Amino acid sequence: MAELDWVQNRVEPGRTDAEFPIDWVRAQFPALARAGSFVFLDNAAGAQVPQRVLDAVNDHLLERNVQRGGRYSRSVEVDRMVAGARATVATWLNAADASEICFGMNATSFIRLASLAIAQTIAPERAEIIVTDLDHDANIATWLALTAPGLSFAWWRMREDGRLHVEDLLPLLSEKTRLVACTAVAHSLGSLVDIPAVARAVHGVGAELFVDCVHYSPHAPIDVQAWDCDYLVCSGYKAFSPHMGFLWGKRERLRALPTFREDFIPDEPPFKIEAGTFIYENVAGMAAAVDYLESLGRHMGATGDKRAALIHAMEAIRAYEAELSRAMLAVLNDNGAIIYGVGDPGHVDRRVPTICFNFEGVDPAEVVKRMAAAGIGIRDGHMYAPRLMARLGLSMDSGCIRLSMVHYNRMEEIERFAAELRTILRS
């Protein structure tokens, strides 16, 4: 298998809007039309939602905005909706069982919940946790905050190319390693991490792998069974859904976690992981977002079951987004940007279209303000990644500029960004 083939990356050079149903896609997202000429290039901070997600949330609130567990039909329907959403998300992830999907508020609270539980199971002779300096701080600080007898930490550091290389993890792993926490793709630099290879290495020493899939989920197919990780966390609002989060874990791993639960909550996943009531309408929205992705697959001619249609859609998204990356990297290179991480348009297979950059002697905030005034939404700052900023030699105050595209962005928007950028840099 070639490097990063696991993201099912069929990136064919020259693929364009014409082959990807971009008009159909954009028509599914009413916020895009409402926004007029505004260009959404800050999608890593939260993506727009398709009409069917709005409908699902609305429908839930209108038809069954009641608590679960009652005997009347509305309440029974809530139970049914949650069960259906679990099955839908399980299909999206290729989970072995729907009970491995636990719903909640967001990714950070799940990383905190899982890490606190894991800390209680740490034996002094296997008490090392490995974190990276590429991750969002939600998947670093949460682990560093743990206390347990003998607990220590090691750092898997990215290389100068802005990527985490499995070869650098290998010497860190030993029979002392309890867990490795890493991202599937950097929410800042956009660089992919070879999760199946990481899982093989981690399991080779009897440790566990916790994957932050928050930034990866809108960009390419997920397959927790093929990846063979132990835990994985996602956040709905990054993946065309409203705000909510979910944790997936191998059933036996989740069963072994000592979590808080009231006496009346079954000591079984998913219930033992779901503290209190979560936002049912947003869970309905998450399931509808997955259904939207399935409908994209069908629109593009997918036959077969839901999983097959989802893979079809996510592969098409991956290929289309590679073209967006290629075009945007070319624009940035032409304008003399310092691109952090994979900046070569020939290596778009190593990244998603989330790009951090700066211009020599130019305040990132100034560029972002000017873009905002021109109706283009991008972001500047530390990207919630203090360790990464330190590695890049950037201050937490000014940081860098980030733009992040998803599959509803189009080439014309890159051209608009390019024209505005030229104006800003000339003045």
Ligand X SMILES: Cc1ncc(COP(=O)(O)O)c(C=O)c1O
Specify the residue, 46 or 84, whose C-beta has the smaller distance to ligand X: 46
Choose one: 131-139, 173-181, 202-210, 292-300; the region binding ligand X (CB under 6 A): 131-139
Grouping H, G, I as helix, E, B as strand and the rest as coil, residue 413 is: helix
Specify the residue, 9 or 139, whose C-beta has the smaller distance to ligand X: 139
Q: Does 107 bind ligand X (CB under 6 A)?
A: yes
Look up residue 121 and give its two tokens: 């199971």
Q: Exactly one of 52, 60, 86, 136 binds ligand X (CB under 6 A); which one?
A: 136
Q: Does 282 bind ligand X (CB under 6 A)?
A: no
Q: Does 43 bind ligand X (CB under 6 A)?
A: no
What one-letter code names the amino acid at 113? L
Choose one: 1-9, 136-144, 162-170, 338-346; the region binding ligand X (CB under 6 A): 136-144
Q: Does 106 bind ligand X (CB under 6 A)?
A: yes
Q: Exactly one of 108, 325, 358, 409 binds ligand X (CB under 6 A); which one?
A: 108
Kindly write down the DSSP assignment for every residue of 249-308, as one continuous string: E-HHHHHH------TTS-SSTTGGG--S---HHHHHHHHHHHHHHHHHHHHTT--SSHHH
* CB-count burial class (<10 Å; 0-12, 13-18, 19+) for 307: middle
Specify the residue, 156 or 359, whose C-beta has the smaller distance to ligand X: 156
Quote the CA–CA distance of 111 and 94 in Å, as a whole number. Answer: 21
Choose one: 32-40, 62-70, 104-112, 218-226; the region binding ligand X (CB under 6 A): 104-112
Q: Which residues contact 14 (CB under 8 A, 6 or more apart)?
A: none
Q: Does 358 bind ligand X (CB under 6 A)?
A: no
| Preceding amide of 30 cis, omega within 30 | no
Specify the residue, 158 or 302, whose C-beta has the smaller distance to ligand X: 158
Q: Does 244 bind ligand X (CB under 6 A)?
A: no
Specify the residue, 183 or 358, whose C-beta has the smaller distance to ligand X: 183
Q: Does 138 bind ligand X (CB under 6 A)?
A: yes
Quote the CA–CA distance of 412 and 39 in Å, as a whole number. Answer: 10
Q: Does 212 bind ligand X (CB under 6 A)?
A: yes
E-assigned strands of 161-257?
Answer: 177-183, 208-212, 231-235, 245-249
Chain residues 217-236 in contact with ligand X, contact rule CB under 6 A: 235
Q: Does 295 bind ligand X (CB under 6 A)?
A: no
Choose one: 199-207, 209-217, 393-401, 410-418; the region binding ligand X (CB under 6 A): 209-217
Q: Does 214 bind ligand X (CB under 6 A)?
A: yes
Binding mask 58-97 for ligand X (x = CB under 6 A): ----------------------------------------
CA distances from 319 to 14, 185, 197 (A): 10, 16, 22
The distance of closest approach from Cβ of residue 354 to ligand X in the complex, given in angstroms and rounded to an integer, is: 9
The distance of closest approach from Cβ of residue 224 to ligand X in the complex, given in angstroms and rounded to an integer, is: 17
Under 8 Å between Cβ of 284 and 304: no
β-strand pairing of 101-104 with 39-40: unpaired
Q: Does 183 bind ligand X (CB under 6 A)?
A: yes
The distance of closest approach from Cβ of residue 392 to ligand X in the complex, given in angstroms and rounded to an integer, is: 17
Sign of CA dihedral 322, 328, 334, 340: negative
CB count in 10 Å sphere of residue 277: 8
Q: Exactly one of 221, 242, 245, 285 binds ligand X (CB under 6 A); which one?
A: 245
The distance of closest approach from Cβ of residue 247 to ligand X in the complex, given in angstroms and rounded to an integer, is: 11
Q: Does 187 bind ligand X (CB under 6 A)?
A: yes
Q: Does 215 bind ligand X (CB under 6 A)?
A: yes
Quote the CA–CA distance of 352 and 406 in Å, as a whole number. Answer: 9
- What is Dmax (Cα atoms) for the chain? 67
Q: Does 241 bind ligand X (CB under 6 A)?
A: no
Choose one: 103-111, 119-127, 150-158, 300-308; the region binding ligand X (CB under 6 A): 103-111
The distance of closest approach from Cβ of residue 294 to ligand X in the complex, given in angstroms and rounded to an integer, is: 23
Quote the CA–CA distance of 372 and 66 in Å, as a whole number. Answer: 41
Give buried/exposed letters for 22-53 (b at 16+ CB in 10 A, else e).
beebbebbeebeeeeeebbbbbbebbbbbebb
The DSSP symbol for 2 reads -
Site of interaction with ligand X (CB under 6 A): 106-108, 136, 138-139, 183, 187, 212, 214-215, 235, 245
